[in-house]
Amino acid sequence: MRTTTNRTLTAALALTLSLSLAACGSADQEGAGVTTEQTTSAETTSAETTSDDADDTSDDADDTSDDAEDTSDDADDTGDTTTGAGGEDLTATALAAIATAEAEAGGTAYEIDDQDDDGTWEVDVAVDDRSVEVTVSADGATVEATEDDDLDEDDRAALDAATITLVDAITTAVTEVDGVLDDAELEEEDGSFFWEVSVDRTSNGAGDDDVEVRVDVTTGDVVEVD
C-alpha cells in the first residue's frame, strides 16, 4: 500500500516539475521574441535615421552646388566689367597715371595715350609754355621716364579755355558709352575746343570696337558720340 502511494507522489512531483520547466521555457521564448522584435525595431529606426541623414547631406550638397553656381555667375558678371587681361581696371589705372604724371611735372595733364606694349602709359602735362611727356608704369603709380618739349599753341589755348579737366572728361566718356578708356586728348574744330576720348566697348580693352566721345571743355556735356 505504501509503495503504491510513493509511486503516486513521485509521479505527481515529476508532472509538476515538468509543467514548471515548460512554463519557464515558454517565458524565455516570449522574452527572446520581445528582445528580437525590439532589436529589429531599433535597427529599422537606425536605418531610417541614417537614410534621413543621407538625404539631408544630399540636400546640403545640392545647396552647396547652387551656391557655387551663384558664385560662378557672380564671377562671370565681374569678368564682364571694364578690366584688362591682368584683371586691373584700365580706366582707374589711367586716372592714377594722370595724377602721378601731374604730380611729377607740376602741371596740368591734357593728353594720355593707351598702354604701350610694355603696359606703360604716356601722359602729356602742360607746364607754362612747356609740355612734359611722363611715362608711367602700368599700375599708374610709378614714373618711368620724362621728356620735355614745347607746348603747342592750340593746346595752350584749349587749356586756357577749359574748365573741365582731362580726368572729368574721361570719367564722363566711359560712363556715357560703358567701356574702357583707350586714349584722350584736346582737340579743336571750327574754333571750338573739346576733349576727344576714345573708348573701347570690349570688356578687356583689347578689341576694335572703339567709340569717339567728344566732351565740351567748359560745360562737361557730351556733344558727340561717333
Mean of all residue pLDDT scores within the chain: 74
What are the pLDDT digits (tens) for 164-191? 999 999 999 999 999 989 999 999 998 8
Given pLDDT bands bounded at 50, 70 and 90, which one contains residue 89? Answer: confident
Q: How many CA atoms lie within 13 A of 194 on its CB side?
A: 20
Angle subtended at Cα 220 by Cα 214 and Cα 224, rounded to the nearest 5 degrees: 25
For residues 92-100, give the mean pLDDT: 97
Q: Of 128, 73, 77, 79, give the one whose Cα is nearest residue 105.
A: 128
Fold entry, domain 90-225: Nuclear Transport Factor 2; Chain: A, (3.10.450)
What are the pLDDT digits (tens) for 99-149? 999 999 999 999 999 888 899 999 999 999 999 999 999 999 999 999 999
What are the pLDDT digits (tens) for 33-87? 444 344 344 444 444 444 455 455 445 545 544 443 443 344 343 333 345 544 4
Given pLDDT bands bounded at 50, 70 and 90, which one contains residue 210? Answer: confident
The CA distance from 175 to 20, in Å, is 101
Residue 217, classified by CB atoms within 10 Å of its CB into exposed (0-12), middle (13-18) or buried (19+), is buried
The CA distance from 109 to 3, in Å, is 139
Identify which has the larger pLDDT, 201 or 72: 201
CA dihedral 158, 222, 181, 179 (to 10 degrees): 180
The CA distance from 82 to 79, in Å, is 8
Given pLDDT bands bounded at 50, 70 and 90, which one contains residue 203? Answer: low
Contacts of 99 (CB under 8 A, 6+ apart): 140, 167
